[in-house]
């Protein structure tokens, strides 16, 4: 094993031990506070173009399993850990081509990102191969995440049936959809067909419901995707999750903003304004819908007041910023998907 480093665009250097793939990985450095779910995190398409710092002190200690994959392959470009918890995890990361460093001072790195915000960075597996000064010049030449559209590179190229059996037919628009979303929809009683990020709204409207998935990058440049969402409103029940929530916000006249360091982890408190209940939720996003006091904003983050949910009854549309499929995470929000699918069946007790 060789000595490598993680370099931030502000010049901060965090040295550690290379434990997976050789090479360099450029992207946005972010941190996640989840205590479990490291394999789901790395394979979540919402982590595209990002270097993920795990705040948990040991990562990889319960092994790897194909059933935990949220997509076919890794989307995170690099991983930073305090301590590697298992060789199986390191071998899997190497097979995926992920640069991974352990013995990183992840506490110091997390505090830096929390105070200064997520920033461009590079993970280098062998410090002898790329000098820090040279690496910094390359990092500063990389485009920032703000203004970057990424969904086209993670979406499916063609429609396919993900879950064939169910009482209702749901079109899942793939902006970077996690597999667990289709699984939870299926368990709730839906047959699921997955569509590309840009699809014919007339075809989508033939389904009983349309779910707008999670995904990476800035929602603001997704003009065509936003127009498709707008054209669906009032024609078919729509539910947005994460990026899908942000696109619904844009389609209804709200604004999105880049968060300083994002919401990533499985312990984010969200207030349901209608019931007064606080949900502990799983989240992974760097952009959000700006705070709003409008009546359609049904959920808010108790961290920063950003909008965590919408309900537009007259448009037959609703959304949540958090992940109700909870892959991984707490199950407080499972009923969001269950109630939505039940409502598509005409169940008078749904909602």
Where do the domains of the chain lie?
3-140, 151-344
Confirm whether 3-140 and 151-344 share one CATH topology: no
For 3-140, CATH number out of 3.10.450.30, 1.10.3720.10, 3.50.30.20, 3.40.50.720 equals: 3.50.30.20
Write down the pLDDT at residue 327: 82
Vertex 261: Cα angle to 184 and 283 (nearest 5):
10
* Distance of alpha carbon 220 from alpha carbon 257, whole angstroms: 9
Backbone angles phi, psi at 256, to 5 degrees: -110, 150
Backbone angles phi, psi at 92, to 5 degrees: -65, -45
Q: At residue 11, does pLDDT exceed 60?
A: yes
Inter-residue contact 308 to 336 (CB < 8 Å): no
Residue 347 binned pLDDT confidence (cut-offs 50, 70, 90): low
Mean pLDDT of the chain: 96
pLDDT in tens, 260-272: 999 999 999 999 9
52-81 mean pLDDT? 96
* Distance of alpha carbon 151 from alpha carbon 287, whole angstroms: 14
For residue 244, give the H/E element and its range: helix 243-251
Q: At residue 317, does pLDDT exceed 90?
A: yes
What is the assigned CATH class of domain 151-344? alpha beta
As annotated, the active-site residues are: 242, 323, 325
Strands of 213-348 (E only): list them.
238-241, 256-272, 278-289, 297-301, 307-312, 317-320
Write down the pLDDT at residue 57: 96
Q: What whole-number percentage of the chain has pLDDT above 90? A: 95
Write down the pLDDT at residue 295: 94
Q: At residue 278, does pLDDT exceed 60?
A: yes
Residue 46 binned pLDDT confidence (cut-offs 50, 70, 90): very high
Q: At residue 350, does pLDDT exceed 50?
A: no
Write down the pLDDT at residue 349: 53
Q: How far is CA 114 from CA 107, 110, 259, in A?
A: 10, 6, 11
- For 268, the token pair is 């984010």
Residues, the chain, total?
A: 351
Residues 175, 179, 182, 185, CA torsion sign: negative
Write down the pLDDT at residue 348: 45
Q: To the nearest 10°, report the CA torsion of 345, 346, 348, 351.
A: 60
Q: Is 167 helix (H, G, I), strand (E, B) or coil?
A: coil
Q: What whole-number percentage of the chain has pLDDT above 70? A: 99
pLDDT in tens, 138-166: 999 999 999 999 999 999 999 999 999 99
């Amino acid at each position: 094993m060789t000595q490598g480093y993680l370099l931030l665009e502000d010049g901060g250097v965090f040295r550690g031990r290379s434990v997976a793939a050789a090479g360099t990985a450029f992207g946005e450095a972010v941190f996640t506070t989840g205590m479990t779910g490291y394999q789901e995190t790395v394979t979540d398409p919402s982590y595209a173009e990002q270097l993920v710092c795990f705040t948990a002190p040991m990562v990889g200690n319960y092994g790897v399993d194909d059933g935990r994959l949220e997509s076919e392959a890794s989307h995170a470009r690099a991983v930073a850990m305090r301590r590697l918890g298992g060789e199986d995890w390191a071998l899997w990361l190497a097979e995926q081509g992920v640069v991974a460093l352990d013995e990183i001072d992840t506490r110091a790195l997390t505090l830096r990102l929390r105070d200064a915000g997520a920033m461009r960075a590079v993970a280098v597996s062998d410090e002898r191969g790329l000098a820090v000064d040279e690496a910094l010049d390359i990092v500063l030449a990389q485009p920032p995440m703000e203004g970057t559209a990424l969904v086209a590179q993670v979406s499916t190229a063609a429609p396919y049936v993900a879950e064939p059996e169910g009482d209702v037919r749901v079109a899942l628009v793939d902006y970077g959809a996690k597999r667990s979303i289709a699984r939870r929809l299926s368990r709730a009683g839906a047959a699921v067909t997955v569509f590309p990020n840009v699809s014919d709204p007339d075809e989508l409207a033939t389904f009983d419901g349309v779910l707008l998935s999670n995904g990476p990058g800035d929602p603001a440049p997704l003009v065509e995707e936003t127009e498709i969402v707008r054209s669906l409103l009032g024609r078919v029940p729509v539910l947005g999750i994460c990026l899908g929530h942000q696109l619904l916000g844009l389609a209804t006249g709200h604004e999105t903003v880049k968060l300083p360091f994002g919401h990533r982890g499985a312990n984010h408190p969200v207030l349901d304004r209608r019931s007064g209940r606080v949900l502990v939720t799983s989240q992974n996003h760097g952009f959000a819908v700006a705070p709003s006091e409008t009546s359609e904003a049904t959920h808010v983050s108790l961290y920063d007041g950003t909008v965590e949910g919408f309900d537009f009854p007259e448009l037959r549309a609703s959304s949540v910023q958090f992940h109700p499929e909870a892959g991984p995470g707490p199950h407080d929000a499972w009923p969001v998907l269950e109630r939505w699918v039940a409502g598509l069946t005409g169940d008078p007790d749904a909602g």
